[in-house]
Amino acid sequence: MSPSNFIFGLFFLSTVAIAAEPEVARQKELVHLVRQDCGSCHGMTLKGGLGPALLPETLRDKPAEGLAATIYYGRPGTPMPPWKAFLSEAEAAWIVDKLMTEFPE
């Protein structure tokens, strides 16, 4: 991904972060995705594993836009895959918001 695409993505994510929350049924799907799919690397309780912990105290000092971009675009050269085929940028921002507070069960 080119730097200009990444910057555009960050700008776009910062604007969608204030968008409406996903529908309740979709929220449940996203919680399941995070608990199962993200949990396979970040630990089923999100306390860390192959990937780092995804707890409010470990994410506190990280910019939400950067975290959402990591979810959406992945991290080339690392095991972190892009999830853009499975969720929208707004949904990635919603996931980050929930991870930074207290992720639902």
User: Taking residues 78-94, what's their average pLDDT?
Assistant: 97
Under the banding of pLDDT at 50, 70 and 90, the label for residue 102 is: confident
Domain boundary assignment for the chain: 3-101
The CATH fold assigned to 3-101 is: Cytochrome Bc1 Complex; Chain D, domain 2 (1.10.760)
pTM given for the model: 0.80
Stated length of the chain: 105
pLDDT digits (tens, 9 = 90+) for 32-57: 999 999 999 999 999 999 999 999 99
